Structure 1
Amino acid sequence: MESRNFRLDTEWNVIHYPEKPNGFGILVVGDERHFVNNSTSFWTQNEGKRSVLNTWKGEGYTVFYSNLYGKHWGSEKAVDLAMRLCSHIMRNEILNNSFHVVAEGMGTLVALKLLENSGIRIRSLALINPIFSLSGHLEQEKENKFFYKKLVAELETAYETEIKQLLARIDSEGNSPPFNHETPVKIIHVLSGNRAYKQSNNLKSLSLQWEKEKLPVSISYVLPEKKLQLGSQITHFFAKHERVL
């Protein structure tokens, strides 16, 4: 069996099985275009993502992810479902109970909340063009009225509240992610488009803070034409943190 699609709550999830398992799992938390339904997913339909997925499977990783209510933007119910998915996988699959996490874009908002949860054991964390805070992302999107209006509508749907109430909740959050000294983090920033270059400037200032705090965070900058190398970059990073079971 190459993969299995199943439902938790109302949402479809999928687990991809490697031919020769290495005993480690990868939770993927996708970005805006990510989806899962009863028979397929963005990671099997998109050529680039499928190549990365096949690289991971070829190295023996069991890969799993959820639809997470679509454009969740790190909502509490998305985080809760991600935790339930992890528990389900650990109960039903023969895997090391400390797994890797790959998060892209807004998926980072879920991954960071999992990182803060003591009930989830994250072995290492790989972030692709991460969004570290909702307030920072909203501020950046204000420059384009169309995208800002679209984002506000998505946030109200995801958090099931009006934007004014949500802003009051997130205004106090910082732009610095809750990294720690125990979980190694690799940030991969693909330099495509004006937004990515603006985010890279923010990343550079944060990296100085992480370096000062001696946190295990490394950053790689990748050109768009090198995106197919992401799979091998990430597996190389993961392998370095599998020596202790």
Structure 2
Amino acid sequence: MSITERFFYLEKEPCVIYLPEKPNGFSVMLLGDYNYFIENGTSLWTQHAGRAYFLQGLIEKGYTVFSSNLYGRHWGNDRAVRLAKRLYDVVLRKETLNTKMHIMADGMGALVALEMMNKYPECIRSVVMLNPCLDLPEYVEFEKEHKFFYKRLVKELSLAYDSKEEELESKINKKSFALLPSCVPVKIFVSTQEKRGRKQLLRKYEKMRQFNQCDTSVLFHLQDVKYKMVRQTCDFFGKYEEEL
């Protein structure tokens, strides 16, 4: 089954809509990880075999999938959140779709998802996350163990938040799930090989949401089946489509 795709620009950023042959009326916003790209009529999620399999699975189920480059390595900055919301508004005007979307967030993309869940819950049905970054200050702390990656991360954050290194902490300290409450249903897929500190953070997020009686589930999986979770993803989305 071939993928029908439509590329366009929004705020000079490349965007794409993937259109199913038999639309089910629902949509999925795709928020990519730090290595995500859309350029020259292609994207990471069609180039990478595992992600392409996942994308194909969503489209075969009738989902209209849309995404933006969001300024590259945005690390959840406000500019990326605003563009994601604008993209949602544009797609809803262009396509015949239910007004509440699902979100599929990979890694760093979860930072934008958390903001949108907090600010625009009326626009979102449910959210699936793959190995999400849920707390940017904690993520930075984890990376301090790896000098090379830490230096690169600090450079990326300085660009994303238009700040000097010494000002970064005050700019990113609000980018944490603890300060972005939401009861939008969430399912998280995380590798069994994920580091202990990050697993503990996920459990903390899960407990916080369960305490607030928000539908949440965390599923651990082997690394090589990460993108084979598309059936479970579609089943999860389907649970929240009965109420239009």
Q: Give 1:225 deviation, angstroms.
A: 2.6
Corresponding residue number in structure 2 for 1:80: 82
Cα distance change, pair 234–58 in 1 and its aligned pair in 2 (3 A): same
| Matched letter for residue 15 of structure 2 | N
Corresponding residue number in structure 1 for 2:237: 238
Cα distance in structure 2, aligned partners of 1:240 and 1:96: 15
Corresponding residue number in structure 1 for 2:193: 192
Q: Give 1:118 deviation, angstroms.
A: 3.4
Aligned counterpart in structure 2 of residue 101 of structure 1, from 103, 106, 119: 103
Q: Give 1:214 deviation, angstroms.
A: 1.8
Cα distance change, pair 116–213 in 1 and its aligned pair in 2 (3 A): closer
Structure 1, residues 96-121: CA drift from partner, whole Å, max 9, x if none?
A: 01000011111111111111223860
Structure 1, residues 14-72: CA drift from partner, whole Å, max 9, x if none?
A: 00001100000000000011100131000000000000000000000000001111111
Structure 1, residues 136-178: CA drift from partner, whole Å, max 9, x if none?
A: 1111101111111000000011111112222123336655363
Cα distance change, pair 224–12 in 1 and its aligned pair in 2 (3 A): same
Q: Between 206-215 and 172-181, report the one with greater CA deviation.
A: 172-181
Corresponding residue number in structure 2 for 1:213: 212
Asked whether the equivalents of residues 83 and 120 of structure 1 are also in contact (C-alpha less than 8 Å), the reply is: no
Cα distance change, pair 26–172 in 1 and its aligned pair in 2 (3 A): closer
TM-score by length of structure 2 reads 0.93
Cα distance in structure 1, aligned partners of 2:123 and 2:186: 14
Cα distance change, pair 22–191 in 1 and its aligned pair in 2 (3 A): same
State the Cα RMSD in Å.
1.7
Asked whether the equivalents of residues 31 and 105 of structure 2 are also in contact (C-alpha less than 8 Å), the reply is: yes
Cα distance in structure 1, aligned partners of 2:186 and 2:131: 13
Corresponding residue number in structure 1 for 2:182: 180
Corresponding residue number in structure 1 for 2:163: 161
Asked whether the equivalents of residues 52 and 231 of structure 1 are also in contact (C-alpha less than 8 Å), the reply is: yes
Q: Give 1:192 deviation, angstroms.
A: 3.3
Identity of aligned residues (%): 38
Corresponding residue number in structure 1 for 2:31: 29
Q: Give 1:133 deviation, angstroms.
A: 1.6
| Matched letter for residue 218 of structure 2 | I
Instruction: Classify the secondary structure of the residue corresponding to 2:75.
Output: coil
Corresponding residue number in structure 1 for 2:114: 112
TM-score by length of structure 1 reads 0.93
Cα distance in structure 2, aligned partners of 1:109 and 1:121: 17
Cα distance change, pair 239–172 in 1 and its aligned pair in 2 (3 A): closer
Instruction: Classify the secondary structure of the residue corresponding to 1:116.
Output: helix
Taking the TM superposition and a 5 Å limit, the aligned residue runs for 1:36-47 are 36-47=38-49
Q: Give the gaps of 5 or more residues in structure 2.
A: none
Asked whether the equivalents of residues 115 and 122 of structure 1 are also in contact (C-alpha less than 8 Å), the reply is: yes
Cα distance in structure 2, aligned partners of 1:172 and 1:35: 26
Q: Give 1:190 deviation, angstroms.
A: 1.9
Asked whether the equivalents of residues 31 and 104 of structure 1 are also in contact (C-alpha less than 8 Å), the reply is: yes
Q: Between 17-26 and 204-213, report the one with greater CA deviation.
A: 204-213
